[in-house]
C-alpha cells in the first residue's frame, strides 16, 4: 500500500534497525536511537526493517498457519488451551478471548518460550511457563514457529538496546536488568473473513495496550490494525518486509509515561482471512519493575496519574509487584478460566 492510498501511513515511521546489530558506538546506532526516541514520543508505534527475520520463515509460518486454521474445529481442539493448563499454550476458538470484557472475533494459537518439564520454573509450577503444544496434522508449523521466535527475539534484544539509548541509558541497561531472561509470548491470530458484526462482537481485537516492553508484529497483506494517536485513530497498514513495533505498559511505567503504551485495535474488513503474528518481549516474570528515577516527575503523565485517561483506567505508577503479577492480572481478565486455574493451583 502506498502513501496515496493511505494518507495516514506517514504518521508511523519506518526505522531501519540494522545498525543495532553492530555493537560499536557508531553514529549510525545513535541515529537509530534518535529515530526510536522520536517514534516513542509520538505514537509509540513504528515499523522496523533490517530486523534479520528471513522472509522465507514468515512465508512458511503463514502457510502452515492457514493450514491449521482450515482444520475442522474438533481437530484444532486437540491442542486446545485447556490441554496447556497453566502454561497458557494452545488453541482458542473465535470468541474465546475477551478484550475489555467483550469476545474478540479471532481464533488463535498461543506459544511462549518452550520450556522442558524439568525446567526449574516448570517443576515449581510457575504459571505461563511450560511446553508449547503442536498440532500433529501440520508438521511444518513447529520448525517455522521455532525459527521465527528465535530470530524475532534476537531482533527484540537489539531493539531494546536502541530503546535504552533513546532513554539516555547504557545500551545494555535492559539486558542487565529485566531482559536477561525475558518473558516471551508469541501468538498466531486468525481474523476470519466476513464475520457478522454484533453489538457484543464488533472488533477482531478491541482497544487495548500491550502489557510488557515491546511487541514485534508481522501481519499479512490484509490490513485492519489501527493505532490511537493524539490526532485520532490511524491505520497501521502492512509494509512489505517490515515488522510493526509498539511499546507496552512496562516501558510506560518505567518512564512515567515519557514513552507511552498506545491503544490499538483490529477490525478485519478485507473480506479475506487475516493472519497476524505478534511476539511479546517482556520483562523477566520474577522482576519488579521500578520506575526510572530520571523520568519521575516529568509532566507528561501527571494529568492522568489517577488512570482516568487510560482505556482501562489503570494507574501504571501505583502498581506493585512483579511483572508476573501484572501479567496474571491481565490474563485472568482476557481468559477468566485460566485465571481461575492459576488461583486453584496456588
For Ni ion, the binding residues (CB under 5 A) are: 210
Rounded to a whole number of angstroms, the minimum distance from the CB of residue 280 to Ni ion is 8
Dist. CA 129–CA 119, nearest whole Å: 9
To 5 degrees, how large is the angle CA 335–CA 336–CA 339?
A: 95
Instruction: Show contacts with ligand OGA in window 186-215 (CB under 6 A).
Output: 187, 189, 205, 210
User: Looking up cell 485520532, which residue turns up?
Assistant: 232
CB of 254 to ligand OGA, least distance (A): 19
Nearer to ligand OGA, 127 or 278 (CB): 278
Which CB, 19 or 108, lies closer to ligand OGA? 108
User: From the list Ni ion, ligand OGA, none, which binds 225 (C-beta under 5 to 8 Å, kind-based)?
Assistant: ligand OGA
Q: What's the Cα-to-Cα distance from 314 to each of 45, 136, 264, 339, rounded to whole Å? A: 21, 41, 16, 19
Q: What is the DSSP letter of 183?
A: E
Torsion of CA 204, 279, 215, 256, to 10 degrees: 110
Nearer to Ni ion (CB atom), residue 68 or residue 203: 203
**336 closest CA partner among 107, 79, 97, 128:** 97
By beta-carbon proximity to ligand OGA, the closer residue of 222 and 255 is 222
* The one among 65, 219, 255, 262 contacting ligand OGA by CB under 6 A: 219
Instruction: Decide if residue 228 touches ligand OGA (CB under 6 A).
Output: no
Q: Which does 171 bind (CB under 5 to 8 A by kind): Ni ion, ligand OGA, none?
A: none
Residue closest to Ni ion, measured at CB: 210
- Binding-site size for ligand OGA (CB under 6 A) equals 11
Angle between helices 323-334 and 336-345 (to 10 degrees): 130
Least distance between Ni ion and beta carbon 85 (Å):
24
Selection from 118, 135, 133 nearest residue 74 by Cα: 135
Which of ligand OGA, Ni ion, none has residue 165 at its interface (CB below 5 to 8 Å by kind)? none
Q: How far apart are the first and last CA of the chain?
A: 49
Q: How far is the CB of 174 from ligand OGA (least distance, A)?
A: 20
The minimum distance between CB 253 and ligand OGA, in angstroms, equals 17
Q: 37: Cβ–Cβ under 8 A, 6 or more apart, which residues? A: 166, 167
Minimal distance in Å, beta carbon 313 to Ni ion? 18
Q: Is 152 in the site for ligand OGA (CB under 6 A)?
A: no
Residue 78: CB partners within 8 Å, gap ≥ 6? Answer: 135, 136
From the list Ni ion, ligand OGA, none, partner contacted by residue 64 (C-beta under 5 to 8 A by kind): none
Binding track over 274-313 against ligand OGA, x by CB under 6 A: --x-x-----------------------------------
Contact pick of 64, 225, 234, 245 for ligand OGA (by CB under 6 A): 225
Interacting stretch for ligand OGA, rule CB under 6 A, among 138-146, 195-203, 217-225, 326-334? Answer: 217-225
Q: Of Ni ion, ligand OGA, none, which one sits near residue 99, judging by CB under 5 to 8 A according to partner kind?
A: none
Q: Give the residues across from 228 on adjacent strands.
A: 233
Query: Using an 8 Å Cβ cutoff, are 317 and 326 in contact?
Result: no
Q: What distance in Å separates the CA atoms of residue 51 and residue 181, rounded to the nearest whole number?
A: 20
Q: Which of 250, 148, 174 is nearest to 20 (CA)?
A: 174
Does residue 19 bind ligand OGA (CB under 6 A)?
no
Name the residue whose CB lies closest to ligand OGA: 276
Asked whether the CA dihedral 105, 215, 329, 126 is positive or negative, the reply is positive
Cα of 197 vs its chain's centroid, Å: 25
**Interacting residues with ligand OGA (CB under 6 A):** 187, 189, 205, 210, 217, 219, 225, 264, 266, 276, 278
Amino acid at each position: 500500500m502506498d502513501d496515496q492510498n493511505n494518507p495516514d501511513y506517514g504518521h508511523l515511521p519506518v526505522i531501519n534497525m540494522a545498525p543495532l546489530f553492530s555493537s560499536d558506538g557508531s553514529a549510525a546506532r545513535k541515529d537509530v536511537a534518535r529515530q526510536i526516541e522520536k517514534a516513542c514520543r509520538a505514537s509509540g508505534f513504528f515499523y522496523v526493517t533490517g530486523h534479520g527475520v528471513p522472509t522465507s520463515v514468515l512465508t512458511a509460518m503463514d502457510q502452515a498457519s492457514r493450514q491449521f486454521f482450515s482444520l475442522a474445529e474438533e481437530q484444532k481442539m486437540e491442542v486446545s488451551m485447556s490441554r496447556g493448563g497453566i502454561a497458557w499454550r494452545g488453541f482458542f476458538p473465535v470468541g474465546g478471548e475477551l478484550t475489555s470484557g467483550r469476545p474478540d472475533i479471532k481464533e488463535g494459537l498461543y506459544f511462549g518460550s518452550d520450556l522442558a518439564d524439568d525446567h526449574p520454573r516448570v517443576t515449581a509450577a510457575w504459571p505461563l511457563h511450560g511446553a508449547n503444544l503442536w498440532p500433529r496434522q501440520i508438521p511444518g508449523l513447529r520448525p517455522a514457529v521455532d525459527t521465527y521466535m528465535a530470530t524475532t527475539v534476537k531482533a527484540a534484544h537489539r531493539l531494546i538496546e536502541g530503546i535504552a539509548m533513546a532513554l539516555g541509558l547504557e545500551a545494555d541497561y535492559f539486558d542487565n536488568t529485566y531482559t536477561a531472561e525475558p518473558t516471551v509470548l508469541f501468538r498466531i491470530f486468525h481474523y476470519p473473513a466476513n464475520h457478522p458484526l454484533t453489538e457484543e462482537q464488533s472488533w477482531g481485537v478491541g482497544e487495548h495496550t500491550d502489557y510488557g516492553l515491546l511487541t514485534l508484529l508481522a501481519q499479512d497483506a490484509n490490513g485492519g490494525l489501527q493505532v490511537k494517536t493524539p490526532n485520532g485513530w490511524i491505520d497501521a497498514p502492512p509494509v512489505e518486509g517490515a515488522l510493526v513495533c509498539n511499546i507496552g505498559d512496562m516501558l510506560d511505567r518505567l518512564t512515567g509515561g515519557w514513552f507511552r503504551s498506545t491503544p490499538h485495535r483490529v477490525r478485519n474488513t478485507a473480506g479475506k482471512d487475516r493472519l497476524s503474528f505478534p511476539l511479546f518481549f517482556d520483562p523477566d516474570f520474577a522482576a519488579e519493575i521500578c520506575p526510572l528515577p530520571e523520568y519521575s516527575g516529568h509532566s507528561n503523565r501527571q494529568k492522568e496519574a489517577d488512570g482516568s485517561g487510560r482505556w482501562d483506567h489503570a494507574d501504571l505508577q501505583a502498581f506493585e509487584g512483579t511483572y508476573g503479577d501484572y501479567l496474571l492480572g491481565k490474563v485472568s481478565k482476557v481468559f477468566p478460566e485460566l485465571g481461575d486455574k492459576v488461583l486453584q493451583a496456588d
